[in-house]
Amino acid sequence: MIEQIYKNVLKPVFFKFDPENVHDRMMRTGKALGNTGFGRALTRAMFYYEHPSLRNNVAGIDFKNPVGLAAGFDKNAQLYKILPEIGFGHAELGSITGAPCLGNPRPRLFRLPQEKSILVNYGLYNQGADVISHRLASARFKIPIGFSVAKTNDPSLGLEEGIQDYRKAFLRMHHLGAYTTINVSCPNTSDGITYQDPNKLDLLLKAIAKEKHLKPVFLKIKSDFTQAELGEVVDIADKHPWVTGFIISNLRTNRVGMNTSKEQLDALSPKGALSGLPVQAQSNNALSFVSKRTDKILMGCGGIFTGKDAYEKLKNGASLVQLVTSMIYEGPTVISKINRELVNLIQADGFARISEVIAEARS
C-alpha cells in the first residue's frame, strides 16, 4: 500500500522536479521526522521489518540485517536518527572530505529512468570533516554507522597534500562511527584523479597505516577494472592487515552498451558516472573476483533493487550489501521488501540464517 502510494502518487510528482531539489527536500523531511519521537515511531510503523535469520556479526559489529544505505545519500550525516526506523541494518554517511566542498556546478544529478540509474556528477559536495565531526561529537547511533572519507575536491592539492587531506578526514571521523570507509574511487573529482591508482593507493595506505585503527576500515573501489588492475589493488591492500575489507563498488564510469547513447549521456553530463542497474553486473563480477583473491570482508554495492539482487551479492562473497538508487526509484519500502525476500531466499535454499549463506560462499 505505502509502496503503491510512493510509486503512483509521490514519485510522479517528485520526478517532475530537479533531482537535487527533491533530494534536499527529502533530507529536510527525514531530519525533521528523526528529531521527534512521534516522527520516528510513525516511520517505524510504516517501514520497519526485522527477522532473526538476518542478524549477523560482521567484523565484530552486530547487524540486524545486511542491507545498508550506501554513501552519497546523506553526505552531511543528518539522517542518522531516521535511517534505523526505515529498516536499514547500517548506513554509510558521507563521503566527508578534509575541507568543506561545494562540489561541481549544478545541475549535477540526472535521472535515467529507462536505465534505472542516476547520472552523478556531485563532486563530493559536503560540509567537511571539522563541521561534521564537531556536530556528531556526542551523537548516539541506533544502528552501525560508517563514515566514508575522501579527498577534498580541489585540483590544486598535490599528492602529499591530498594524502594529508584524507588523513585529516580519517582522524576526525574514525573514532565516531562503527567503521570507516576510505573512498578511493570517487569518479567526479574536478581533476579526474582517484587514489585507486596503485602508486597513490600504496602511499595513501602507508600514511593511514601509521594512525590508530580503533574500528574496522574498508576501501571503496570502483568496478571499471580489468582483473589485472583489480588484482593489483587487492594485493596492495592485502599488505595492510588493518584494512578490514572492500566495498565493491562505486559508480560506473564507462558508457558502453547502455540503452541511452553515449552522445545523449555526454549532452547531460560528460563527466557524470552511473549508479543503479548499469553497475550491477560489473560490480558482481568484481565482487566475485575479489572474493576469490582475498580473505578480507566484502560489502556488495551496485544495482540492488530486489532480494534476489542482494542474495546474488551474498553468493558472490559479500557479507553486507548497500544501496542508494533503488530507494530513489522505489521509495523507502524497498528496504523491508529486500529483507523479506532475502528471508524467503535463505529458507528456500535450506539455510537457517544469513551467516550460513555467507560462510558457504566464502568457503
Ligand X SMILES: Cc1cc2nc3c(=O)[nH]c(=O)nc-3n(C[C@H](O)[C@H](O)[C@H](O)COP(=O)(O)O)c2cc1C
Block residue for cell numbers 568543506: 100
Can you spell out the DSSP letters for 278-340?
HHHHHHHHHHHHHHHH--SEEEEES---SHHHHHHHHHTT-SEEEESHHHHHH-THHHHHHHH
Distance of CA 1 to the CA centre of its chain: 28
Is 323 an interacting residue with respect to ligand X (CB under 6 A)?
A: yes
Is 276 an interacting residue with respect to ligand X (CB under 6 A)?
A: yes
Name which position in 22, 54, 67, 70 contacts ligand X (CB under 6 A). Answer: 70
Is 251 an interacting residue with respect to ligand X (CB under 6 A)?
A: yes
Is 98 an interacting residue with respect to ligand X (CB under 6 A)?
A: no
Toward ligand X, which CB reaches closer, 53 or 336? Answer: 336
Site string for ligand X, 99-128 (x = CB under 6 A): ----------x--------x-x-x-x----
Name which position in 146, 300, 303, 317 contacts ligand X (CB under 6 A). Answer: 303
Toward ligand X, which CB reaches closer, 56 or 76? Answer: 76
* Residue ranges of E strands in the chain: 56-58, 61-63, 67-69, 90-97, 109-112, 117-120, 145-150, 179-183, 217-221, 243-248, 273-274, 297-301, 320-323
Site string for ligand X, 78-97 (x = CB under 6 A): ----------------xx--
Strand, coil or helix: 181: strand
Window 151-190: residues binding ligand X (CB under 6 A): 183, 186
Q: Cβ of residue 250: shortest distance to ligand X, in angstroms?
A: 5
Helices 277-293 and 307-315 sit at what angle, rounded to 10 degrees?
Answer: 20
Residue 95: which of 120, 65, 60 has the closest Cα? Answer: 120
Q: Cβ of residue 133: shortest distance to ligand X, in angstroms?
A: 17
Toward ligand X, which CB reaches closer, 53 or 282? Answer: 282
Name which position in 93, 101, 163, 279 contacts ligand X (CB under 6 A). Answer: 279
Name which position in 39, 66, 72, 300 contacts ligand X (CB under 6 A). Answer: 72
Toward ligand X, which CB reaches closer, 291 or 322? Answer: 322
Contact criterion met (CB below 8 Å) for 183 and 94: yes
